[in-house]
Structure 1
Amino acid sequence: MLIAAPLCLAALPALAQDAPGTIISIIGGLAPDDLLNIRATASPGGKIEARLPNGAAVKNYGCKAVNNYPWCKVEDTQDAHITGWAPARYLSPNNPASPPEDTATSATAAAAPRPPPEEPQLDIAARLGGGDPADPPSAAEIGQTAMQDAYALAFAAAANAQSDTALDAGIPCARHVGQPMTRCEISVAQKGGDSSVTVTWPDRGARIINFHDGKPAGSDSSDEFRFTREGSLNMIRIGVSERFEITDALALGE
């Protein structure tokens, strides 16, 4: 369960604004034994670059909304090598300014040729040269063009679906106290609205995590089961040491 821990920034005079466009934010709102994931991308499924505790200070370069969920670009004030993205709700204060673009990315984008703007799609009659009322297209021509459009749309939808539903080969996991997160292979079995995610440890052995109505519901372990959520990411803890991060899409086999 998340703990709403109000922070008194007035008691931290040294953590003033660092530079124009940058503020200092304090991490808070985590459960006492939890750490905040700093991710390479603004996504619950992004690679974890580091984990920071309540009270840690970070430079906050600005926030943006991803799927209506605010993320901020941050840098650890104690280690400039630790940079990435964190959910805005764990940062006080968050930075409403847009984050700076990556220099290399911006330069590449500027150098790349820009595609011409798309022209508005003409209706079927105009595409068949039937804009003139004196020479309208036949019903057969209209039907053939409509069928071609339908095939094109179906092909594009299938390609998007294949791209969107490709499952990751594994999930972030940890088995022992103090162990950094690693990758575990998974398989998903579904029955009705429920599913079971079998997580296989890199050093053998497995853990089964059950989902009911899309939410974590328990495991095959007798140890305490609990979880918190970051957007569509389920952060699951079993006992005092086991940790798993499973997205809703993976749990539902999507």
Structure 2
Amino acid sequence: MMRRTITLRQSLHALIAAPLLMAAWPAVVPAHAEEAPFISVVTGLAPDDLLNVRAKPSPIGKTEARLAAGASVRNLGCNDIDGHPWCKIESDNPKATGWTPARYLVPLNPATVPDQAADTPAAAPAEGGTGATPDAPDLTARLGSTTQPASPETKPKTAAEIAMQDAYGLALAANGTLQIPCARYVGQPMAPCAASVTRKGTDKADVTVTWPDGGRRVISFDAGLPASSDAGSDFRFSREGKLNMIRIGVSERFEIMDTVVLGD
């Protein structure tokens, strides 16, 4: 008799608990499904190259971190920035949040980033009084860590317009010294390098870049586009807007604006 009482009591508990568990299940499963991140893998890089994670969706935005091919990241969504798709990502190793070109991520997150305005630099209100103008822009302007004040009548500029303005400023400094972003070694961040231009007509020119640690590299332009260099290594380039992003061999990198080659 005692054994039967225990069995009936256990069955009664099970019958009471089952509806409660079934009612709670729909609330638990969607919560976990919604929290599942969209994972993308870094791909399409040149040998020994690293992918820049930038603070702003711009090829000359501040570099927050660099990722190797095969790295897995959380893809928060992808937006079209002036005709170029960029994705906002989060990385755990190294710990960073920022933007990368969509072409280096597989698969792509079809969602968009709703808070894009927060990542796009906007003009700040003008203040009374005038500040001193630096003789030449330094690298911080190119990296996007500062914004220029504007009058109330000035419309906020797009990320592409600000990026181009920064690149123009670095290329044509006030004292006449020409500088371009460059890097010589694998994994080395871009830094300002002194340069000079020898124009050979309206659309041909040679840009001579002097490395900070000594030595030079000559890059030839034909029809306004990068054509070759004096190095015996593989030469290739890509363009975003009016910016030429040049790679020579496995490590050398340059960013040269059209205005440097063609003039004003």
Same fold (TM over 0.5): yes
1:42 aligns with 2:52: no
CA displacement at 1:249 relative to structure 2: 4.9
CA contact (8 A) 2:76 2:113 kept: yes
Q: Deviations over 1:69-119 (max 9, x none)?
A: 111111213232x2221111111122232224279x59xx9xx9xxxxxxx
The residue number in structure 2 matching 1:56 is 71
CA contact (8 A) 2:226 2:237 kept: no
CA contact (8 A) 1:18 1:24 kept: no
The residue number in structure 1 matching 2:195 is 186
Instruction: Give the counterpart of 1:203 among 195, 213, 232.
Output: 213
After TM superposition, the structure 1 = structure 2 runs for residues 65-144 of structure 1, keeping only pairs within 5 Å, are: 65-80=80-95, 82-101=96-115, 105=118
Mapped partners of 1:73, 1:43: distance in 2: 12
Bigger helix fraction: 2
Mapped partners of 1:54, 1:73: distance in 2: 17
Change in Cα spacing, 1:44 to 1:177, as seen in structure 2 (3 Å) is closer
CA contact (8 A) 2:49 2:250 kept: no
Alignment RMSD, CA only? Answer: 3.4
Identical positions, percent? 51
Change in Cα spacing, 1:38 to 1:172, as seen in structure 2 (3 Å) is farther
The residue number in structure 1 matching 2:168 is 166
Change in Cα spacing, 1:90 to 1:176, as seen in structure 2 (3 Å) is closer
Specify every segment of 5 or more residues in structure 1 that has no aligned partner in the other structure, as ranges: 1-15, 113-159
SS in 1 for 2:35: coil
CA contact (8 A) 1:188 1:253 kept: no
Please tell me whether Structure 1 or Structure 2 has the larger radius of gyration of its CA atoms.
Answer: 2
The residue number in structure 2 matching 1:154 is none
SS in 1 for 2:66: strand
Aligned length: 182
Mapped partners of 2:33, 2:229: distance in 1: 45
Mapped partners of 1:69, 1:17: distance in 2: 30
CA displacement at 1:25 relative to structure 2: 1.0
SS in 2 for 1:166: helix
Change in Cα spacing, 1:83 to 1:167, as seen in structure 2 (3 Å) is same
Q: Deviations over 1:168-209 (max 9, x none)?
A: 243332223453432213333432211222222223433221
The residue number in structure 2 matching 1:137 is none
Change in Cα spacing, 1:197 to 1:46, as seen in structure 2 (3 Å) is farther
The residue number in structure 2 matching 1:135 is none
CA displacement at 1:18 relative to structure 2: 8.3
The residue number in structure 1 matching 2:226 is 216
Matching residue's letter, 1:63: C
